[in-house]
Amino acid sequence: MLKGKTAMVTGSNRGIGLAVVKLFAKNHADILACARTQTPEFEKEMQELANEYGISILPVYFDLSDEAAATSAVKQLIKNTERIDILVNNAGVTTVGLFGMTPVAKIKQVFDINFFAQLSITQLVTKKMSRNHSGSVINICSVSGLSNEKGGLAYGSSKAALAYATKTLAVELGANGIRVNAVSPGFIDTDMWKERDEDLRSSLLSKTPLARQGSPEDVAKAVLFLASDDSSYITGRNIIVDGGRI
Ligand SMILES: NC(=O)c1ccc[n+]([C@@H]2O[C@H](COP(=O)([O-])OP(=O)(O)OC[C@H]3O[C@@H](n4cnc5c(N)ncnc54)[C@H](OP(=O)(O)O)[C@@H]3O)[C@@H](O)[C@H]2O)c1
């Protein structure tokens, strides 16, 4: 489905990002696999995937909270890469806290990673995509950005901002042949849920018609659809992958 395309994926070392990398590899994309920290395990896993599917995977390292380092790494990448067809803005952080107990500085930190860093990367990459008059950007938002929950202000509003940017960028970049869409996962089984209490988990499950937690692969399948030419007439949309949560 992605043969001949090059995809850049952030947060590709675990969770949803790793599932996206694996599914893209299976669909024969070449991949720029971005992670925060270089580890021998990650490098080995990427090399094994590349060998298995006969593709190229280049691990790239930067921390989204360090804007200068992140933009410099992405600029370098753009210089050294012939083309980038797909950008998956997946890396993100979550936080929970009542507004009255959350310093605004903390909210800014969440926005720096979940919103501003995504914009910086998107600005650089879509400039390159524009030269080929083609590209697909997929922003991983969240159902938290579409609803309102106690304690969800920092995370939810950062994802709501990213969902808004998705729609606006779709309008601005459509004429350049670039599609911009979002995927909003619900309750997905990744490390993000490791430290949440059981009551919250059971309450979420009771509101999920499909009666199970989603897997990273469930999300990756929606991302693959938006990355591929199968979604060639879809832009500015947000696919919700949440088991039909009510
Ligand atoms: N899991 C869910 O239920 C759920 C629901 C809705 C939306 N989402 C969204 O889905 C995306 C992926 O989340 P996940 O569930 O796969 O979570 P995860 O397993 O916690 O993975 C988060 C990824 O983001 C990376 N990351 C975090 N901060 C970073 C930084 N400052 N610089 C570079 N990379 C950074 C992490 O890298 P390190 O390994 O270095 O920390 C990791 O690769 C996030 O945007 C999240 O908000 C998840």
Q: Indicate whether residue 136 lines ligand 1 (CB < 6 A).
A: no
84 falls in which pLDDT band (50, 70, 90)? very high
- The answer to whether residue 196 scores a pLDDT higher than 90 is no
Q: What is the pLDDT of residue 197?
A: 81
Could you tell me the pLDDT band of residue 129, with boundaries at 50, 70 and 90?
A: very high
Mean pLDDT of the chain: 97
Higher pLDDT, 196 or 170: 170
Q: Which CATH number among 3.40.50.460, 3.40.50.2020, 3.40.50.720, 3.40.50.150 corresponds to the domain 6-241?
A: 3.40.50.720
Find out whether the beta carbon of 245 lies less than 6 Å from any atom of ligand 1. no
| Secondary structure of 111-160 as H, E, C letters | HHHHHHHHHHHHHHHHHHHHHHCCEEEEEECCHHHCCCCCCCHHHHHHHH
Quick one: pLDDT band at residue 81, thresholds 50, 70, 90? Answer: very high
Q: Whose Cα sits closest to atom 35 in ligand 1?
A: 91
pLDDT of residue 190: 96
Q: Write out the catalytic residue numbers.
A: 155
pLDDT of residue 200: 87
pLDDT tens digits for range 208-242 = 999 999 999 999 999 999 999 999 999 999 999 99
Cβ contact 138:89 at 8 Å: yes
Q: b/e map of 69-89 (b: 16 or more CB within 10 Å)?
A: ebbebbeebbeebeebbbbbb
pLDDT level of residue 195 (50, 70, 90 thresholds): confident
Query: Residue 114 CA: which ligand 1 atom is closest?
Result: 45
240 lines ligand 1 (CB under 6 A): no
Identify the CA nearest to 144 among candidates 93, 181, 210. Answer: 93
Q: Where are the domains of the chain?
A: 6-241
**145 C-beta closer than 6 A to ligand 1:** no
Does residue 147 surpass a pLDDT of 90? yes
Q: What is the pLDDT of residues 153-181, one digit of tens each?
A: 999 999 999 999 999 999 999 999 999 99
What pLDDT, on a 0 to 100 scale, did the predictor assign at position 198?
86
The Å distance, Cα 189 to ligand 1 centre, comes to: 12
User: How close is the Cα of 128 to the center of ligand 1, in Å?
Assistant: 25
